[in-house]
Amino acid sequence: MSFTLKLSPLFIAIAATMSANTQAADEASQQGFVEGSSLNLNARNYYMNRNRLQNADDNIEWGQGFLGRFESGFTQGTVGFGIDAHAMLGLKLDGGGGTDGSSILPIGAGSGKAPGSFSTAGAALKMRAFDTELKAGDLFLTNPVIAGGDTRMLPQTFRGVSLTNTSFDGWMIEGGQASFTKPYNQSGHKRIGASYGTLADGDNSEHLNWAGVVWSGLPGLTSSLYGAELKDIWNQYYYDLDYTYAVNEMVSLNPGLHFYHTQDTGDALLGKIDNNTYSLHFTVAAGNHSVTAAYQRVNGNTPFDYISQGDSVFLDNSQQYSDFNGPNERSWKLKYVYDFIGVGVPGLTSAVSYSRGETDLTKVDPDSKGYASWYSADGKHAKHWERDIDLKYVVQQGQAKDLSLRLQWATNRGGNGYGALDQDTDEYRVIVDYPFNVF
C-alpha cells in the first residue's frame, strides 16, 4: 500500500467537514475579494561572514532583499475564490573575489561568482468553502515536515497544492503535495531534495506529500501529528507535545517533546534509512528571564535529515550553525533568554546558549548511496560544541515602527575525528528587517 493511501483518512476527514459549518462560511463571504485584500512589503538587509578556520577561507556575502506579498480576500458566496501573489528581488552588495558561497546569494554559472541581482515572482489561486481552504500554485509553507527556509535574505517557496480545514474548535487539519521548490538563494525552481543526503546525478524525487493535524484544545497544551512522503527517498512521521503551566503571574514551566521517525521508501535514492530522532526540553520562565535545558538523541546510522534549505527541523538543539543531528548523536543544550523591558528598554531581547554533542561516525555505511561522506574510521567518539549569542531590537513606535536589527554569532568547534565531517567555524550575521503594510 502506498504512503498516499495510508494518509487518505486525513484527507477524507477534511472533505467530510466541508459541509459542517454554513454559518462560518456566510460570515467569511461578507468580507469580499477587495475588502479582504492586503499588501505587505519587507526590506531585509543581510550580512553573513562564515569563517572556516582550518582552510582560512571566509565566506562573506552582503545583500539587500525585497519581498512583496499580496493576499486577496474571497469572492462572496458559499464558495469563494481569491489569489495570493508575491515578488522578490535580491541585490548583491558584496560577495566575490573568493569570499562568496555563504548561501545568501546565488552561485553564478561559469564564473562561480554571484550575479548582481536575482528575482522571482509567483502566485497561487485559492478557494474557500465553509472552513476549508484550497490553494494551488506557489506556496509559503510552515510545518514540521515541509517548512520553507526563512533564515536567509529571501524566503523559500514551494509549487504545489495545499488544503487546510479548521471546522472543529481547537483543531487544524492540513495536507498537500509539492513538486518543486524555489530555494532562498535562487530565482528558478527545482525538485525537492535533502539537506544532508547527496543524490546521484540524474536522481530526483518527483514530489513531497504531507498531511497533519494540530490540536490546541486545552489552555497551555498543544500537540501535532504529521506524516510526509518524499517520493523514492523517505517516509517521515512527526509528533510533538508542548505544555505551559503558569505557577503564578511571574513564573511558568514549559516541558516539551519533539519526535521524528524517518524510513526509506520506494527506490530509496539515498539508500537505507531507519532513523528515530527526538528532543526534550524544559523551560523555567520567571519575569523577564527564562532558562531552558534540552536533550536530543539520534537513533540511526544516518543523520536526521530534512528537505534541502528547509526549516522543517523542529528539534530543540537545531542551532544557528549545527543541527546536532549526526548519526547516533547525543547532545544537550543550556539556553538563557532575557527581555530588556525589565530595565526599561522594550523591544530589546537577548539569548545565549551552549550546546554539546557526541556522534559515532564509524557506524555509517561507507557504501551508502546518499550518506557515505559521513563515514569516518576515526569518528567513534566525534565531538563538537556550539556557542550562540543572539541580540535583537525592534523599534516600538514612530515612523520606523517594527524595524528590527538582529545580531547573531555562532562558534562551532569539533574534535575526536569530527573534523572529517565539518571544520571549526565562526559565523556572524547582521540582519535588518523593515516590514510595513501598504494596505
- Sorted by where each begins, the domain ranges of the chain are 3-27+125-437
Give the cell for residue 193: 531534495
The verdict on domain 3-27+125-437 having CATH code 2.40.160.10 is yes
What is d(CA 401, CA 266) in angstroms, rounded to the nearest whole number? 51
Is 138 in contact with 86 (CB distance < 8 Å)? yes
Maximal CA-CA distance, the chain? 66
Is 118 in contact with 140 (CB distance < 8 Å)? no
Terminal Cα-to-Cα distance of the chain (whole angstroms): 48
Closest C-alpha to 126, from 118, 116, 136: 136
Splitting the chain (439 residues) into consecutive groups of 10 residues, what average pLDDT does each group show? 40 39 45 92 96 78 97 95 98 77 79 86 96 97 96 96 96 98 93 95 95 96 98 98 97 98 97 98 98 98 96 96 96 98 96 97 95 93 97 95 97 89 92 96
pLDDT for 53 equals: 81
Is 317 in contact with 355 (CB distance < 8 Å)? yes
The rounded mean pLDDT for the chain is 91
pLDDT for 56 equals: 62
Radius of gyration of the chain (CA): 22
Beta bridge partner(s), residue 236: 228, 262
Sign of the CA dihedral running 139, 142, 148, 152: positive
Give the cell for residue 9: 483518512
Give the cell for residue 201: 546525478
pLDDT for 372 equals: 95
pLDDT for 20 equals: 40
What is d(CA 2, CA 16) in angstroms, rounded to the nearest whole number? 22
Is 155 in contact with 149 (CB distance < 8 Å)? yes
Sequence-ordered list of residues with C-beta below 8 angstroms from that of 155, at least 6 positions apart, any chain: 67, 88, 140, 148, 149, 184
